[in-house]
């Protein structure tokens, strides 16, 4: 093994792909985002980073809410389109059937298998033209066909993955193991401290 | 389409799986984390959430640095093991060949295809027992075999994906399209505002 340096890059592979929904001057708008992630299990919280020039930022800050919609691979073209075009010029809401949940100001997409309705709890200004929005999830929406044993089922959700800098999309492969179980195959006693 | 409510959950599918490296009292320690993500492209920044009880938090705060190591699917068992066991009891560094880069206090794993060396830039206390650490990446390390056209290549990296609440690991499937290109298949003029 001979390591090489690649330079300073945000190389986390892969990243999830979501569509963020906001209300702007009373109209729904959507933006594709891959700088997104879970930040807390309970209470459930997620983070979304947006560069400050986006119209979506105004909507989030005005309404103190947003939605996260998880598209499937059949929605790849429209998901990419929503990331390429500004809400100033394109009526992106007309691409989808829009619905509202408890908040009434966090528009969600009927066609995506999963929707997270979020209440804004914090904004972190990275001071380089981007802001992290922390949202607490107050409700999630799906359809029966995407659920197995009470949880969203990856193979049915069929989400899109993003590969940074090579700018490509991937799908999810197969289940390869169980978390908090496959690790039991390693004999912990061999690595115990102070024996 | 008939939406159902699932309750309030951090349902982002899938999440990446990384191993965070820290130095604690001069010794390297590692912890598997899935609450991780890119937060900025330039300067490159990532976020990692850790519940406050972890020993890794002490290391990050003392050294103002940490590493992110991206394991491949062949490392699934050891990756799961590192997430299941505390550094107080298990010498997790002895599971890997450890190396250091420019910072000298951000231990990295030789066996993982990709390593991100991070300087701590911010801590956000979520006030519910977890903290978000924002790190600026100062260097990335890999091996020639994982690189194609100058970038890490997903199929070679072969990273692990995490499915929240169903607690399972998946691999990456196939490339399904190009970002900022597949969206061109949609006729933007049909959705233009103020026509």
Residue in B with minimal Cα distance to A155 = B170
Q: Model confidence at B195, in pLDDT bands (50, 70, 90)?
A: low
In angstroms, the separation between the Cα of residue A78 and the nearest Cα of chain B is 6
List the single residue in B3, B141, B181 with the smallest CB-CB distance to A141: B3
In angstroms, rounded to a whole number, what is the distance separating the alpha carbons of residues A38 and A116?
12
Q: Which residues of chain A are within 8 Å of residue B68 when distances are taken between CB atoms? A: 12
Cα-based distances in Å from A182 to A136, B75, B81: 31, 10, 7
Instruction: Give A138 to chain B, closest Cα distance, Å.
Output: 5
Q: What is the mean pLDDT of chain A?
A: 95
- The model's pLDDT over B121-174, given as tens digits with 9 standing for 90+, comes to 999 999 888 999 999 999 999 999 999 999 999 999 999 999 999 999 999 999
CB count within 10 Å of CB B55 equals 15
Cα separation, A157 vs B176, in Å, equals 16
Q: Count the residues in chain A.
A: 195
Residue A20 in tokens: 């963020």
Residue pairs between chains A and B whose CB atoms are closer than 8 Å: 390
Instruction: Please answer whether residues B36 and B21 qualify as being in contact, where contact means their C-beta atoms are separated by less than 8 angstroms.
Output: no
A177 contact B CB<8A: yes
Q: Which of A163, A16, A95, A154 minimizes the C-alpha distance to B168?
A: A154
> Cα separation of A20 and A59, whole Å?
11
**In this predicted structure, what is the pLDDT of residue B135?**
97
- Using DSSP, state whether A177 is helix, strand or coil: strand
* The pTM of the whole model exceeds 0.90: yes
- pLDDT confidence bin for A195, thresholds 50/70/90: low
Distances (CA, A) of B42 to B138, B148, B154: 11, 22, 21
What is the rounded distance in angstroms from the CA atom of residue B6 to the CA atom of residue A179? 22
Say how many residues make up chain B: 195
> Is the distance from CB of B121 to CB of B47 less than 8 angstroms?
no
C-alpha R_g of chain B: 19
Distance (Å) from the alpha carbon of B195 to chain A's nearest alpha carbon = 10
Q: What pLDDT, on a 0 to 100 scale, did the predictor assign at position A189?
A: 94
Q: How far apart are CA A95 and CA A87, in angstroms?
A: 12
* CA gap A161, A175 in Å, rounded: 15
Cβ contact B76–A182 (<8 Å)? yes
Quick: pLDDT tens for A75-119.
999 999 999 999 889 999 999 999 999 999 999 999 999 999 999
Closest residue by Cα to residue B45 from A46, A123, A165, A132: A132
Residues of chain A positioned with their CB less than 8 A from the CB of B79: 183
Which chain A residues are within 8 Å of B38, Cβ to Cβ?
Answer: 10, 12, 15, 34-35, 49, 164
Placement of tokens 């519910």 in the chain: B128
* B189/A contact by beta carbon, under 8 A: no
Out of A11, A14, A139, closest to residue B172 by CB = A14
**Quick one: pLDDT at residue B190?**
94
- Contact: B39, A49; criterion CB under 8 Å: yes
The pLDDT tens digits of the residues spanning A121-144 come to 999 999 888 999 999 999 999 999
Judge contact between B21 and B32, C-beta under 8 A: no
CA angle in degrees (0–180, nearest 5) for B52-B53-B57: 60
Task: Summarize pLDDT for B72-129 with one digit per residue, the tens.
Answer: 999 999 999 999 999 889 999 999 999 999 999 999 999 999 999 999 999 999 988 8
Map residue A29 onto helix, strand or coil.
Answer: strand
* Mean pLDDT on A11-20: 98
Query: Which helix H or strand E contains A172, and what residues bound it?
Result: strand A168-178
Which chain A residue is nearest to residue B114, measuring alpha carbons? A11
CA distance B33 to chain A (A): 11
Closest CA to A46 of A29, A67, A62: A67
Provide the ipTM.
0.96
């Amino acid at each position: 093994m001979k390591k090489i340096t690649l330079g300073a890059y945000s190389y986390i592979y892969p990243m999830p792909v979501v569509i963020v929904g906001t209300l702007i001057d009373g109209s729904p708008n959507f933006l594709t985002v891959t700088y997104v992630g879970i930040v807390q299990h309970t209470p459930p919280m997620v983070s979304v980073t947006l560069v400050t020039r986006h119209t979506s930022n105004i909507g989030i800050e005005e309404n103190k809410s947003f939605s996260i919609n998880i598209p499937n691979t059949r929605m790849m073209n429209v998901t990419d389109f929503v990331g390429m075009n500004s809400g100033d010029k394109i009526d992106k809401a007309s691409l989808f059937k829009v619905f509202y949940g408890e908040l009434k100001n966090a528009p969600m997409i009927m066609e995506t298998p999963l929707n997270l309705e979020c209440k804004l709890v914090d904004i972190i200004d990275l001071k380089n033209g981007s802001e992290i929005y922390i949202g607490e999830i107050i409700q999630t929406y799906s359809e029966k066909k995407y659920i197995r044993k009470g949880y969203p089922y990856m193979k049915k959700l069929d989400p899109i993955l993003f590969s940074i800098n090579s700018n490509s999309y991937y799908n999810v492969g197969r289940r390869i193991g169980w978390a908090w179980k496959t690790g039991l195959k390693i004999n912990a006693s061999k690595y115990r401290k102070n024996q």
